[in-house]
Amino acid sequence: MTRWLGLGRGATMLLIFLLGIWVATSGLLDQITAYWDDITYLTRQHVFLVASSGGAAILAGVPVGIWLSRPSMERYAETVMQVFNIGTTIPTLAVIALSMTLLGIGFPPAFFGLFVASLLPIVRNTYAGLLAVPSHLKEAATGMGMTQRQILMRVEIPNALYVIFSGIRTALAINVGTTPLAFLIGGGGLGELIFTGIDLMDTGMLLAGAVPTAALAVAVDFLMGQAQLRLIPKGVNPLR
């Protein structure tokens, strides 16, 4: 098993190595590095957009999900979730476009559009994860004399954490993938190089935007995967 894994890793390394040789000899590397200043500036902008909108979505989405899962909200929660579900079906490009009509151009509509697009999976997973906590656990916790707050913090959230994390991971994947579109409404980011590259039929410029975007997406997903693996207690973590 480990031997095959090692072999696979070796093959990947070789592939990356060959790809590197090809990129270097084809002269693409020179074309890409010509945009180095743009890349660093726009990557920073891009990462800021992802981090701010994603962070805001987590900060807002988890509490909303928790609030919807409370027994007092039982009657309305399903209706609210239906609204959220319909929201998910709207393509993210449309969400961005709609937020531009509301907020004009620049950072605010980009931030808002990305925020809305990543909010939905977080709320949905938080809500679903908390509802999926077996009722006998809550009964045991209540019977042992935990307060509602203690039950939430010590039993419900830890046991829903894996599902909540999956929602956050999905949300950030959507977020990173959608952020290049922010350029279209003046939000900046690596989309600037991608879309301008497309318009000018300039492969070097296009790749100067696309490669860091792809690398960022992979990096974010990797970080989230590691966080999911390490931060969630062993007893409720199917990965461990």
Partner 1 sequence: MIRLEDLTKRFKTPGADIVAADRVNMEVPTGEICILLGPSGCGKTTALKMINRLIPPTSGKIYIDGQDTSQLDDIQLRRNIGYVIQQIGLFPNMTVEENICVVPRLLNWDIRKARQRAADLLDLVGLDPRQFLRRYPKELSGGQQQRVGVIRALAADPPVMLMDEPFGAIDPINREIIQDEFLKMQAELKKTIMFVSHDIDEAVKMGDKIAIFRAGRIEQYDTPDMILAHPANAFVADFVGADRTLKRLRLVTAEEVASTEVPVTARSTKVSDALHQLTVAKARRAVVIDSDRRPVGFVTAEEMAGASGAVRDFAHPLPATVPVRADLRAVVSEMFAHDTMWLACTDDHGRFAGVITQPDVTAALRATYGPDKGAGQEQGAS
**Which positions lie near partner 1, rule CB under 8 A?**
134, 136-137, 139-147, 150, 154-155, 158-159, 161, 233-236
Question: What's the sign of the alpha-carbon dihedral 64, 68, 72, 73?
Answer: positive
Q: In this complex, which beta carbon is closest to partner 1, that of residue 114 or of residue 141?
A: 141
Task: Name the residue nearer to partner 1 (CB basis): 159 or 175.
Answer: 159
The CA distance from 203 to 206, in Å, is 5
Three-class SS state of 219: helix
CB of 102 to partner 1, least distance (A): 41
* Among candidate residues 184, 94, 166, the one with its CA nearest the CA of residue 126: 166
Structure letter (DSSP) for residue 239? T
Contact 125, 142 (CB under 8 A): no
**C-beta of 237: minimal distance to partner 1 in Å?**
9
- Tokens, residue 198: 């497309």
Q: Where are the alpha helices (DSSP H) in 70-202?
A: 74-89, 92-103, 107-131, 135-143, 148-150, 157-178, 191-200
The residue among 155 and 181 lying less far from partner 1, judged by its C-beta, is 155
Return the number of the residue (52 or 150) whose C-beta is nearest partner 1.
150
By beta-carbon proximity to partner 1, the closer residue of 139 and 199 is 139
The interaxial angle of helices 36-69 and 203-231, nearest 10 deg, is: 40
Q: Measured from the CB of residue 171, what is the shortest distance to partner 1 in angstroms?
A: 23
The residue length of the chain stands at 240
Q: What share of the chain is helix, strand, coil (3-state, %, to 5)?
A: 90, 0, 10
Sign of CA dihedral 223, 225, 228, 229: negative
Supply the minimum distance, in Å, between the C-beta of residue 137 and partner 1. 6
Q: How far is the CB of 210 from partner 1 (least distance, A)?
A: 41
CB of 143 to partner 1, least distance (A): 4
Q: Which is nearer to partner 1, 81 or 161 (CB)?
A: 161
Beta carbon of residue 128, minimum distance to partner 1 (angstroms, whole number): 17
- Which of residues 104 and 233 has its CB atom nearest to partner 1 in the complex? 233
